[in-house]
Amino acid sequence: MNWIERKVAVYYLNKLLGVLSMNALQGYRTYIIAALIGLVTVGHQLGYIDSTTYQTLLGVLGAGGLATLRAAK
């Protein structure tokens, strides 16, 4: 995956996290982030996602998870 594909993936992931900030998902955002982390991990273990992209996605999803925990307070 080259840097343009990574930037596109991060862009769409940020758009997804923006959707997750809607009040309709109140109380479920953390679970959704955890499920996405699980899917990314499975994709990495199966070889669909390379290590650099995996670490980038985990960083973005981890930050999103922390943000949802902060919002749940």
Answer whether residue 14 shows pLDDT above 80. Answer: no
Q: How confident is the model at residue 55 (pLDDT cuts 50, 70, 90)?
A: very high
Higher pLDDT, 23 or 27: 27
Q: What is the pLDDT of residue 21?
A: 56
DSSP alpha helices (H): ranges in the chain? 3-20, 29-45, 51-72
Count Cβ atoms within 10 A of the Cβ of residue 33 and give its class: 0-12 exposed, 13-18 middle, 19 or more buried. buried
Distance CA 73, CA 49 (A): 33
Q: What mean pLDDT is predicted for residues 12-16? A: 71
Count Cβ atoms within 10 A of the Cβ of residue 24 and give its class: 0-12 exposed, 13-18 middle, 19 or more buried. exposed
Q: What is the pLDDT of residues 24-54, one digit of tens each?
A: 556 677 888 889 999 999 999 999 999 999 9
